[in-house]
């Protein structure tokens, strides 16, 4: 089941539970004025103060505590179990507001939806809602599970909200519906707790978790807001983007240990355009109140307007501004999980955006002096920031609500007046089933998508057949639509370059154009099209079809990603499949032929995947091969785990590829050919794969350093988790390929294959300075050899995601015939979206190659072919490597 299908199931659960929570009687409502009598404090329940040295809340106990608070809260608190996490733990939403508000929660939700999309709502109705409605605030805790502050702060914040009886608390309860996610990563919260407790009192106390802190994706869970592949993301995405649209959102994180104690809103430069400007002003407003309250509480080391830029990735706190939500984050200086960290004053340092030197300045007027830094220090600062957000909203309820209406209506007006006015997505796409997935991803963001039952023509003469989609920008989330569907170029100005012109690394990618990632054509239309459109109200689940008569067998279109799902399901049932290698009789290389199968199996596969089994028109005896399932091994390491490996694993599960996770010991033993045909190294550094140097946790990328919560300190990693395949492992991999195995290396791991196997390949961008060559997360134009089995089903011109990737020259040798260039970069005008500096260095260069080695081959995919399970448009490069290829003439027989 893929993420999009699974989202369907999630969709029906949350709302029903929310509604069930609103049936409180009026008797409870009258009790509002009275204080709840007995509320158990966190200290009493857990046996320690939140944030006490070397003490962590375990998620299962936290779940018990929130359920207890629900019973003791006098109607102020409702717990909603949103469903299981990927590992089966409960994912909770805690709703806190007055009993009177709880009693009319659904009506408040409906009012809120009208403010967030006021199209067709009268101004009188808006004014009534501003008077009667409540501010909705959402806060999420410890999405990055090693950043433990949030999970340990929330019980205390929640306790205060349900037990305090002062006017300030009452105002919050009366004026705010507070949606709290007390852990945005319950699986990780449990892993971090258990690992920490296991090594408490040893030399490894407070060390980094050796594996990813959730089932698949570790630190990348924030990046999952773009497509919401994971259940946790789906729960929060539905809550914020579909069911509620809160006016403000705060996500609580940790950062490195040696700068400010806590970063609070607003962000620093550069801003990302196309949001309503008021959303950035709101963040300044909340941020000022937060910082003001931190000083009032005597808490030092608070910084705002620094470190975190307004243009980040489309993670939860950075995508929300384009939902017209004041999307904010706090970042606290890390300790060693719950173990205090001593910091000498001389070790405190600036060097961050907006805090060049560690000294008193306008956005940092009260530097922390150094000394022992503790989890309690984090909990206190986070709690003040969380409370202040609720407090400001409660004090300014009508202003906040009126501005929610203004943001939504002004964005809608901007969209109506601007160019493009809309995007059209033709039903005629290279891979139409992936178009459905894109539409479903837009729906999950709460974007309105229209479908044309009869087709339409655009003013420029382009025609769109029946079933095509139309997305107008005259809707509140116009900025988001623009970024997900339209060409995007990263800002190039004084905020993104140093004075000497050197580009400053963006926080993440240079763009987030989902349509380009997915290989879907979305055409910008300069004028709105008045057509007979129908609103798409539920995720699209294509039915698939099976030809009634197919005496010669069936064909599946090899251009569909889902053809691989279908073939894997057929293989599961023992059905034989052939693959077309040469074009003939309407067949393309990469199409699949199913000579015979039980009708019920075909019907079932068609239903599950949406593919069509059409009738084969003529018998095909030449230019096909028997396609078989290959045995797949994927390298699994410790040292924090590898997010790219986790995404790959998740993708394989969704598409039905069986695989084995292979650890160092098995590789070192050798003899890999006995168990595997294909061996995969996900994006990684060579030294991390070999173990030559200790790697930072959290996979490659900024996870390790920036999070600060798992600095690379080899001494704190127990010996059994100091992974790396070593020289024996390199020899075993070499042996595997020489004996006929296929080695697939992704992204940075291509360097491992090139250097350790001595391949005749050169990375042409290695050694270039960032001033010469700098390409963060950009979609680049490529030329594809579609007759190569590794590129079957691809278009000849395509887009790939390049993120500080390598690019290659295949060096001339006496055995050039053994090597194949599968994908190369365009000769000019390479940038489709993002930020390409120095395109001449990669123009025409190799992006993907297959290099013969012994009896086997090494597949080098330099770009991000399956990045974060978002780049559907290039999945087939990887998938093709996982199924058998046609027999290849060896050079000796030629």
Phi, psi of 284 (to 5 degrees): -65, -40
> x/- binding map, residues 72-111, to Zn ion, per CB under 5 A?
----------------------------------------
CA gap 705, 439 in Å, rounded: 35
CB of 574 to Zn ion, least distance (A): 46
Closest approach, Cβ 185 to Zn ion, in A, equals 10
Smallest gap from Cβ 136 to Zn ion, in A, equals 24
Nearer to Zn ion, 147 or 156 (CB): 147
Q: Helix or strand or coil: residue 634?
A: strand
Window contacting Zn ion (CB under 5 A); options: 136-144, 370-378, 738-746, 865-873: 136-144
Whether 394 contacts 101, CB under 8 Å? no
CB nearer to Zn ion: give 85 or 140: 140
Task: Work out whether 313 is an interface residue with Zn ion (CB under 5 A).
Answer: no
Site size for Zn ion, by CB under 5 A?
3
Compute the distance between CA of residue 410 and CA of residue 199 in angstroms, rounded to an integer: 54
Cα 806 to chain centroid, rounded: 23
Question: What is the SS3 assignment for 183?
Answer: coil
CA-to-CA separations, 547 to 381, 436, 552, 611, in angstroms, rounded: 64, 22, 11, 11
Binders of Zn ion among residues 806 to 865 (CB under 5 A) are none
- Determine contact, residues 409/122, Cβ cutoff 8 Å: no
Nearer CB in complex with Zn ion: 54/253: 253
Q: What is the DSSP string of 433-462?
A: HHHHHHHHHHHHTT---EEESS-EE-TTS-
Token pair recorded at residue 501: 């012109």
Q: Which tokens sit at 424?
A: 């059209």
From 195, 240, 228, 190, select the one nearest 61 (Cα to Cα): 190
**Between 243 and 282, how does the x/- string for binding to Zn ion read (CB under 5 A)?**
----------x-----------------------------
What is the smallest separation between the CB atom of 753 and Zn ion, expressed in angstroms?
A: 32
Q: Considering beta carbons, is residue 213 or 235 the nearer one to Zn ion?
A: 213
Which one of the spans 22-30, 144-152, 228-236, 596-604 is the region binding Zn ion (CB under 5 A)?
144-152
Pick the piece of the chain touching Zn ion (CB under 5 A) from 142-150, 334-342, 850-858, 868-876: 142-150
> Taking the complex as a whole, how short is the minimal distance between the CB of residue 53 and Zn ion, in angstroms?
22
The least CB distance from residue 253 to Zn ion, in Å, is 3
Are the C-beta atoms of residues 182 and 92 closer than 8 Å to each other?
Answer: yes
Binding test (CB under 5 A) with Zn ion, winner from 78, 109, 144, 215: 144
β-pair type (831-833, 660-662): unpaired
Cβ nearer to Zn ion, comparing 221 with 227: 221
Phi, psi of 367 (to 5 degrees): -60, 140
Shortest gap between Cβ of 254 and Zn ion (angstroms)?
Answer: 6
* Beta-ladder partners of 251: 140, 329
Query: Is 607 in contact with 541 (CB distance < 8 Å)?
Result: no
To the nearest whole angstrom, how small is the minimum distance from the Cβ of residue 97 to Zn ion?
28
Which of these segments, 123-131, 145-153, 606-614, 636-644, binds Zn ion (CB under 5 A)?
145-153
CB of 636 to Zn ion, least distance (A): 24
- Contact assessment for residue 851 and residue 777, using Cβ atoms and an 8 Å cutoff: no
* Residue environment code for 766-789, b if the CB has 16+ CB neighbours within 10 A, otherwise e: eeeebeebbbbbbbbbbbbbbebb
> Per CB under 5 A, which region of 96-104, 139-147, 235-243, 855-863 contacts Zn ion?
139-147
Contact assessment for residue 633 and residue 882, using Cβ atoms and an 8 Å cutoff: no
What residues numbered 147-176 form the site for Zn ion, per CB under 5 A? 147
Separation in Å, CA 42 to CA 78, 152, 196, 386, 663: 17, 10, 20, 17, 41
251 vs 448, beta carbon nearer Zn ion: 251
Q: How many angstroms separate the CA atoms of 605 and 601, rounded? A: 6
The token pair at 31 is: 């009790």
Residue among 690 and 709 whose Cβ is closer to Zn ion: 709
Burial per residue of 472-486, b for 16 or more beta-carbon CB atoms within 10 angstroms, e otherwise: bbbbbbbbbbbbbbb
Give the binding range for Zn ion (CB under 5 A) out of 140-148, 347-355, 534-542, 692-700: 140-148
Q: Which range, of 146-154, 341-349, 358-366, 613-621, touches Zn ion by CB under 5 A? A: 146-154
Q: Where are the beta strands (DSSP E) in 279-358?
A: 302-303, 326-333, 341-343
Q: Which two tokens stand for residue 19?
A: 């509604």
Q: Are 51 and 375 in contact (CB under 8 A)?
A: yes
> Binding pattern to Zn ion, positions 204-243, x when CB under 5 A?
----------------------------------------
Q: Comparing C-alpha atoms, which of 882, 886, 819, 885 is closest to residue 634?
A: 882
For Zn ion, which is the closer residue by CB, 144 or 193?
144
Q: How far is the CB of 152 from Zn ion (least distance, A)?
A: 15
CA distance 377 to 368: 11
Q: How far is CA 890 from CA 743, 786, 855, in A?
A: 18, 21, 9
- Rounded CA gap, 96 and 102, in Å? 8
Nearer to Zn ion, 214 or 723 (CB): 214
**Which residue lies nearer to Zn ion by CB, 266 or 729?**
266
Nearest distance from residue 707's CB to Zn ion, in Å?
5
Segment contacting Zn ion (CB under 5 A): 141-149, 656-664, 803-811, 820-828?
141-149
Of 246, 445, 232, 442, nearest in space to 327 by CA: 246
List the x/- string, 580-619, binding to Zn ion by CB under 5 A.
----------------------------------------
Rounded to an integer, what distance in angstroms lies between the CA atom of residue 276 and that of residue 691? 48
In the complex with Zn ion, which residue's Cβ is closer, 74 or 237? 237
Residue placing its CB nearer to Zn ion in the complex, 195 or 469: 195
Bridge pairing between strands 831-833 and 808-810: unpaired
Q: Indicate the residue among 382 and 563 with the shorter CB distance to Zn ion.
A: 382
Binding marks (x or -) toward Zn ion, 455..494, rule CB under 5 A? ----------------------------------------
Nearest distance in Å: CB 144, Zn ion: 3
Nearer to Zn ion, 187 or 516 (CB): 187
- Minimal distance, residue 256 CB to Zn ion, in Å: 11
Under 8 Å between Cβ of 265 and 419: no
- The closest alpha carbon to 116, from 129, 99, 131, 132, belongs to 129
**CB 385 → Zn ion: shortest distance, Å?**
15
Segment near Zn ion (CB under 5 A), from 138-146, 177-185, 458-466, 514-522? 138-146
Peptide bond into 266 cis (omega under 30): yes
Considering the complex, state which of residue 253 and residue 864 has its C-beta at the smaller distance from Zn ion. Answer: 253
Beta bridge partners of 850: 820, 859
Please, what is the minimum distance in Å from the beta carbon of residue 312 to Zn ion? 12
Nearest-approach distance from CB 250 to Zn ion, in angstroms: 13
Indicate the residue among 149 and 266 with the shorter CB distance to Zn ion.
Answer: 149
CB nearer Zn ion, residue 143 or residue 443: 143
The least distance separating Zn ion from the CB of residue 221, rounded to whole angstroms, comes to 9
Q: How far is the CB of 274 from Zn ion (least distance, A)?
A: 25
Complex with Zn ion: residue 57 or 450, whichever CB lies closer: 57
Element holding 848 (H helix, E strand): strand 846-853
Write out the residues near Zn ion by the rule CB under 5 A: 144, 147, 253
């Amino acid at each position: 089941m893929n993420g999009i299908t699974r989202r369907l199931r999630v969709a029906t659960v949350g709302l029903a539970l929310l509604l069930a929570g609103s049936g409180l009687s009026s008797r409870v409502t009258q009790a509002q004025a009275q204080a709840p009598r007995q509320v158990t404090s966190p200290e009493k329940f857990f046996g320690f103060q939140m944030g006490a040295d070397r003490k962590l809340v375990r998620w299962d106990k936290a779940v018990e505590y929130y359920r207890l608070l629900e019973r003791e809260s006098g109607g102020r608190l409702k717990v909603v179990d949103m469903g299981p996490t990927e590992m089966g733990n409960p994912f909770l939403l805690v709703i806190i507001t007055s009993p009177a508000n709880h009693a009319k929660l659904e009506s408040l939700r409906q009012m809120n939806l009208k403010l967030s999309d006021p199209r067709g709502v009268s101004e009188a109705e808006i004014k009534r809602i501003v008077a009667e409605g409540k501010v909705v605030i959402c806060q999420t805790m410890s999405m990055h599970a090693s950043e433990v502050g949030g999970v340990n702060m929330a019980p205390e914040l929640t306790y205060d909200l349900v037990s305090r009886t002062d006017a300030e608390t009452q105002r919050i309860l009366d004026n705010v519906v507070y949606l709290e996610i007390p852990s945005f990563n319950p699986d990780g919260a449990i892993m971090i707790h258990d690992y920490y407790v296991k090594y408490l009192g040893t030399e490894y106390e407070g060390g980094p978790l050796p594996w990813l802190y959730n089932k698949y994706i570790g630190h990348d869970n924030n990046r999952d807001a773009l497509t919401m592949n994971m259940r946790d993301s789906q729960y929060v995405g539905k809550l914020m983007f579909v069911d509620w649209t809160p006016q403000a959102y705060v996500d609580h994180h940790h950062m490195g240990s040696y700068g400010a104690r806590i970063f609070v809103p607003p962000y620093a430069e550069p801003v990302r355009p196309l949001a309503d400007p008021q959303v950035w002003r709101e963040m300044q407003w909340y941020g000022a109140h937060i910082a003001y309250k931190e000083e009032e509480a005597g808490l030092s080391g608070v910084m705002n307007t620094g470190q975190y830029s307004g243009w980040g990735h489309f993670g939860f706190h950075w995508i929300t501004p384009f939902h017209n939500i004041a999307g904010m984050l706090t970042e606290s200086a890390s300790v060693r999980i719950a173990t205090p960290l001593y910091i000498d004053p001389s070790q405190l340092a600036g060097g961050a955006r907006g805090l060049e030197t560690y000294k008193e300045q306008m956005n940092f007027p009260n530097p922390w002096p150094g000394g022992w830094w503790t989890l309690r220090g984090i909990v206190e600062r986070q709690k003040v920031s969380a409370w202040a957000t609720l407090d400001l909203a409660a004090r300014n309820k009508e202003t906040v609500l009126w501005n929610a209406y203004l943001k939504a209506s002004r964005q809608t007006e901007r969209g109506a007046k601007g160019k493009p006015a809309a995007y059209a997505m033709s039903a005629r796409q290279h891979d139409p089933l992936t178009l459905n997935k894109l539409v479903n991803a837009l729906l999950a963001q709460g974007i309105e998508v229209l479908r044309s039952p009869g087709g339409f023509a655009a003013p420029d003469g382009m025609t769109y057949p029946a079933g095509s989609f139309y997305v107008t920008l005259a809707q509140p989330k116009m900025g988001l639509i623009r970024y997900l569907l339209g060409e995007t170029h990263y800002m190039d100005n004084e905020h993104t370059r140093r004075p000497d012109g050197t580009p400053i690394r963006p926080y993440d990618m240079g763009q987030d154009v989902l349509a380009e990632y997915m290989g879907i054509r979305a055409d910008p239309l300069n004028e709105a099209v008045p057509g007979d459109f129908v609103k798409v109200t539920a995720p699209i689940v294509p039915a698939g079809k099976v030809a009634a008569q197919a005496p010669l067998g069936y064909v599946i279109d090899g251009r569909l990603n889902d053809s691989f799902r279908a073939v894997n399901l057929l293989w599961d049932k023992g059905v034989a499949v052939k693959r077309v290698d040469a074009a003939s009789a309407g067949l393309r290389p990469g199409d699949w032929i199913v000579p015979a199968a039980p009708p019920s199996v075909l019907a079932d596969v068609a239903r599950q995947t949406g593919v069509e089994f059409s009738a084969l028109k003529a018998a095909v005896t030449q230019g096909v091969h028997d396609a078989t399932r290959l045995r797949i091994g994927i390298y699994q390491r410790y040292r924090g785990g590898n997010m790219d490996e986790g995404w790959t694993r998740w993708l394989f599960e969704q598409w039905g590829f069986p695989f084995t996770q292979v650890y160092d010991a098995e590789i070192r033993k050798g003899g890999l050919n006995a168990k595997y045909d294909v061996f995969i190294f996900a994006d990684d550094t060579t030294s991390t794969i070999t173990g030559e140097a200790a790697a930072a946790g959290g996979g490659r990328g900024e996870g390790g350093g920036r999070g600060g919560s798992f600095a690379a300190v080899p001494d704190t990693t127990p010996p059994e988790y100091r992974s790396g395949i070593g020289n024996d492992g390199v020899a075993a991999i070499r042996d595997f390929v020489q004996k006929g195995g296929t080695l697939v290396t992704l992204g940075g791991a291509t360097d491992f294959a090139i250097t350790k196997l001595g391949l005749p390949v050169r990375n042409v961008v290695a050694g270039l300075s960032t001033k010469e060559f700098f390409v963060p997360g950009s979609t680049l134009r490529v030329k594809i050899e579609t007759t190569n089995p590794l590129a079957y089903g691809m278009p000849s011109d395509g887009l790939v995601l390049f993120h500080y990737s390598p690019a290659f020259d295949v060096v001339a040798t006496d055995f050039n015939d053994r090597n194949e260039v599968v994908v190369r970069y365009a000769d000019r005008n390479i940038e489709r979206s993002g930020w390409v500096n120095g395109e001449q260095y990669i123009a025409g260069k190799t992006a993907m190659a297959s290099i013969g080695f012994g009896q086997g081959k090494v597949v080098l995919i330099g770009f991000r072919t399956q990045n974060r399970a978002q780049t559907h448009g290039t999945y087939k490069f990887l998938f093709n490597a996982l199924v058998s290829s046609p027999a290849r003439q060896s050079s000796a027989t030629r």
